[in-house]
Amino acid sequence: MGENPNWLRKPGSSLSFMKMSTPEPEYGAEESKVLVFVFEEGERRPTICAKTTRTYSAGEVIRNNYSNLQSLAEGVRGSVYADMFAKPLYLHDKDNLVFSLESVCPGVKFSLLERDTALVIEKYIGWQSHLATSTEKTWGSGDITDLANKTIKTLGLSGDSALVLSNYYKHLAFDSNVKLPVLVQHGDFTLDNVLIYGEQINLIDYDHVGISKLPGFDLFNLFLKSEGRIGLLRTNCERYLPQYFGKIGARIAPESYDSILFVHYLQERQRKMHLEAYQEKSGEEIVNSFRSLVAK
């Protein structure tokens, strides 16, 4: 570690360490991590965060997290969004030991919901529109339909249930001229993973970066998981999605939003399918649960 003395703000000052174990996430206990924050004497926030797992065999989550952070950093290098994520510093993966080091994002969690929500979404959309300027890949209606069908297949449903989902997707009005840029999504964009620092936002927890590259997945997740705290899913979608799609240069009619939301919903189910509550559901039940979500 001595090869990069600039990691510390005040080299030579005494250090103290704060340990935090992440709760076992709903996506799987193997993703549980142990974080050690390094504080330099007199500093109000930590300089470095070390991440590891309890056993080497569970270390994939650290490697993924680090590699995701590297790709996020690459996407914002030199831009005004460069400080929106931690900076990857070092990955150690040998001698039966895996840990990563990264810088620590400043900021605090949400307090004033309405003001903070508007700020967070504005900054998030800014980041996504920055990414959109450097991507040439796009999703057409065929690609999105393929994605929907592939996702349905991975849900492990019976043939009948899969057919119900497939038919429901077809039934949703979908603009055949749709064109959406392929954009990296944070993958776990929730209130707990956003820090607010003045007029800046920082996104933390990079385990699920890239889980979807279909634009809107993050916002769908944020609205879904914060429902009741920052407003209803439908209201938020109507309020923010036109602005979001407009800024990333997407071509999509508002009538097609439900189709996209349904694909996001299926992707979210796919991520949680190992959980008991998400198993043994029929196609009808899944469709009904989606309908009741977006009907509010």
Residues that bind another protein (CB under 8 A): 16-21, 23, 32, 34, 36-37, 39, 42-46, 52, 54-55, 96, 107-111, 113, 191-192, 195, 229
Give the residue from 23, 25, 12 showing the smallest Cα distance to 272.
25
Return the number of the residue (16 or 71) whose C-beta is nearest another protein.
16
CA distance 140 to 175: 10
Tell the smallest beta-carbon distance from residue 289 to another protein (Å): 24
Is the four-CA dihedral 132, 138, 139, 140 of positive or negative sign?
positive
Tell the smallest beta-carbon distance from residue 24 to another protein (Å): 8
Return the number of the residue (32 or 135) whose C-beta is nearest another protein.
32
Tell the smallest beta-carbon distance from residue 109 to another protein (Å): 4
CA distance 218 to 248: 14
Tell the smallest beta-carbon distance from residue 46 to another protein (Å): 7
Return the number of the residue (119 or 287) whose C-beta is nearest another protein.
119
**What 3-state DSSP class applies to 28?**
coil
Say if residues 52 and 60 touch (Cβ distance below 8 Å). Answer: no
What are 181's strand-pairing partners?
Answer: 138
| Residues across the chain | 296
Write out the two tokens for 57.
């065999």
CA distance 111 to 93: 38
Return the number of the residue (23 or 159) whose C-beta is nearest another protein.
23
Return the number of the residue (5 or 42) whose C-beta is nearest another protein.
42
Give the residue from 253, 252, 242 showing the smallest Cα distance to 219.
242
Tell the smallest beta-carbon distance from residue 259 to another protein (Å): 31
Give the DSSP H/E element, type plus range, for residue 140.
Answer: strand 138-140
Say if residues 35 and 22 touch (Cβ distance below 8 Å). Answer: yes
Say if residues 284 and 166 touch (Cβ distance below 8 Å). Answer: no
Return the number of the residue (120 or 287) whose C-beta is nearest another protein.
120
Tell the smallest beta-carbon distance from residue 281 to another protein (Å): 24
Return the number of the residue (52 or 151) whose C-beta is nearest another protein.
52
Q: In whole angstroms, how far apart are CA 1 and each of 7, 90, 170?
A: 9, 8, 55
Tell the smallest beta-carbon distance from residue 35 to another protein (Å): 9
Tell the smallest beta-carbon distance from residue 19 to another protein (Å): 4
CA distance 75 to 130: 9
Return the number of the residue (96 or 176) whose C-beta is nearest another protein.
96
